[in-house]
């Protein structure tokens, strides 16, 4: 998995800070997560091929998380895109985008497929043979979801030396990869574990922005490899975090610790702070493996 | 007057090109003209004080001319703006913005005043004692207006030496500035022109984007000091200009020449061209006083 941070700041803009948008590359997918104003330019800056983006996940309908989407949809059309674009977003977005297209008299020549979300429980919203995406219901001022991206456990790997030594016909390879025992050419049963190796462990990534400190997400994100958890504020502004339904760096770390995740990435910083280093210092007092997101930063895991 | 180009490129984005937005400073106003995606950041980059912007003029509802407005409105609110914001735009924009605010549950604490436009004839849409703004109906794929900004002719200037020599009481100064004849302290009529000078000439600026070549705008923009006329294409792409209802640099120059304007500024360039210098070369074959807009460039006139 490769995570590219296109923008990791909250609402009010500064020169050189971008609102929320991320690209998650996972099992040959290029998922766009949130799409704040200016995302299409950040995609260009980070050399993400527009045609690779086929799925967009929008956490909620505050502008700093989706005001870049209408422009992106429009640009895709000008570039004569043909592939479908799937958009997973709270109910209401389809109506806004449709109205904007109607007013501009520019309907897309490719298919826009809206998957409107309204459930308050976690649900599976995307699945193929390699990846699953689940919602993570968050507690914010309006209806908001985080997203959990999970690689499925892959097939077992053939231990080719052992397979050849055991004299197993090639027609059984598929069954071996799927974990089954098979017969050799003499009719003897060969136990799967003698001729295969464990699959590459599946990775998982949880994106949680924006939210009040909420332990109810812990069962959903338990033991993910990487957790992005918003930290709009630091602890001295905890009261402000509460009234605006955001989290502090310390609270993000508490969630990371309780969910026993592999790594915590902080982001969605308020632009009121001159430096973001204090977010990391604060989180590290609770949980050790903390990284700061920065616009343009890439995480590989 | 001072014109700051925030963005002067047409729709598809590149890193370092911005869609249409301009700031016109005229008689103590700071008018925002069009508001493509990313305008709020360009306002910051060009150090335009947000609180100075009280009037926004939107030419038409293609995204590259207004997708930055929702974010700007939202940011103004986060910054606890109190002053009214007047928006002059084609009918429909109010509904989009209202829906976006409704979905985000973030109503502005300041007053948003929409002046929705639908007339196909030129109309006076703003007036105070120093400035007038008129629409310039354009010929584009959807309902579109340019805008004509005109300083009103100011008062006559007192020639103080002549006034004192003529022994005129101070109570008559106001009448003199307004062009009237007055009496001196001996009761003799003093002709206005003997003791006053002509006012500073009033300036005018016409913004015309996006439009097919259209001579019908000439009577409205006749002899303006500065004309911004879109030139999305150069002459070799004239057929494309026609089908997309845009203009070439040559056509912009033909309008400038026929309207006898003082200066032509080109802009709204397609991002297909590696360099914009050819736009100027082409326009200069028709009309001499041509300038290229560039993002961040300032024109004072």
DSSP characters over A123-181: -EEEE-SSEEEEEEE--SSS--EEEEEEEPP-PPEE-HHHHHHTT--GGGHHHHHTT--
CB contact under 8 A, A74 and B63: yes
- CATH code of the domain in which A52 resides: 3.60.15.10
How many domains does chain B fold into?
2
> Could you tell me which chain B residue has the CA closest to the CA of A141?
B105
Pair B220, B289 in one domain: yes
Is residue B176 within 8 A of residue B168, CB to CB? The reply is: yes
pLDDT at A71: 96
Pair A24, A165 in one domain: no
CB contact under 8 A, B99 and A99: yes
ipTM for this model: 0.89
Distance from B99 to chain A by nearest Cα, in Å? Answer: 7
Residue A282: other Cβ atoms inside 10 A: 22
Pair A183, A271 in one domain: no
Is B246 buried (19+), middle (13-18) or exposed (0-12) by CB count in 10 A? buried
pLDDT at A111: 97
Active site residue A64: yes
Cβ-based contacts of B63 with chain A (< 8 Å) = 70-71, 74, 100, 104
Cβ partners under 8 Å of residue B285, min gap 6: B250, B253
| B210 cis-preceded (ω within 30 degrees of 0) | yes
CB contact under 8 A, B99 and A104: no
Cβ-based contacts of B79 with chain A (< 8 Å) = 12
Pair B148, B222 in one domain: yes
pLDDT at A185: 93
Pair B47, B170 in one domain: no
Pair A246, A270 in one domain: yes
pLDDT in tens, A39-49: 999 999 999 99
Pair B129, B210 in one domain: yes
Cβ-based contacts of A93 with chain B (< 8 Å) = 103
> Could you tell me which chain A residue has the CA closest to the CA of B105?
A142
Catalytic residues of B, which ones? 64
Pair B132, B227 in one domain: yes
Pair A34, A135 in one domain: yes
Pair A192, A232 in one domain: no
Which of A71, A99, A106 has its CB closest to that of B96? A99
Residue numbers of the domain that contains A185: 157-197
Question: Is residue A12 pLDDT above 80, yes or no?
Answer: no
DSSP state of A101: H
Question: Is residue B13 pLDDT above 80, yes or no?
Answer: no
Average pLDDT over residues B275-291: 97
Pair B251, B181 in one domain: no
pTM for the whole structure? 0.91
pLDDT at A13: 74
Look at residues B96, B209, B270, B47 and name the one whose alpha carbon lies nearest to residue A67: B96
Which of B70, B79, B99 has its CB closest to that of A67? B70
Pair A106, A19 in one domain: yes
Out of A34, A64, A210, A295, the active site residue is A64
Cβ-based contacts of A100 with chain B (< 8 Å) = 61, 63, 96
Distance from B255 to chain A by nearest Cα, in Å? Answer: 26
Cβ-based contacts of A12 with chain B (< 8 Å) = 75, 78-79
CB contact under 8 A, B70 and A71: no
pLDDT in tens, B48-62: 999 999 999 999 999
């Amino acid at each position: 998995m490769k995570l590219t941070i296109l923008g990791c700041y909250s609402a009010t803009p500064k020169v050189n800070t971008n609102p929320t948008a991320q690209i998650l590359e996972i099992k040959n997918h290029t998922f766009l997560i949130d799409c704040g104003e200016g995302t299409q330019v950040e995609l260009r800056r980070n050399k993400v091929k527009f045609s690779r983006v086929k799925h967009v996940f929008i956490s909620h309908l505050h502008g700093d998380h989706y005001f870049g989407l209408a422009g992106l949809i429009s640009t895709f059309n000008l570039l004569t895109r043909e592939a479908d674009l799937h958009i997973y977003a709270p109910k209401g977005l389809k109506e806004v985008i449709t109205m904007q297209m109607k007013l501009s008299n520019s309907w897309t020549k490719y298919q826009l497929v809206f998957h409107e979300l309204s459930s308050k429980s976690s649900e599976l919203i995307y699945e193929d043979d390699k990846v699953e995406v689940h919602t993570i219901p968050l507690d914010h001022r309006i209806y908001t979801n985080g997203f959990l991206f999970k690689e499925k456990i892959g097939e077992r790997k053939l231990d080719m030396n052992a397979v050849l030594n055991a004299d197993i016909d090639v027609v059984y390879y598929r069954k071996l990869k799927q974990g089954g025992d098979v017969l050799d050419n003499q009719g003897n049963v060969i136990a799967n574990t003698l001729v295969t190796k464990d699959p590459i462990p599946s990775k998982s990534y949880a994106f949680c922005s924006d939210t009040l400190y909420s332990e109810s997400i812990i069962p959903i994100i338990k033991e993910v490899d990487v957790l992005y958890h918003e930290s709009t504020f630091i602890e001295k502004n905890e009261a402000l975090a509460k009234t605006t339904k955001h989290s502090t760096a310390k609270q993000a770390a508490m969630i990371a610790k309780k969910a026993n995740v592999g790594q915590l990435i902080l982001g969605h910083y308020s632009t009121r702070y001159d430096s973001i280093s204090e977010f990391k210092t604060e989180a590290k007092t609770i949980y050790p493996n903390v990284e700061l997101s920065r616009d343009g930063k890439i995480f590989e895991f």
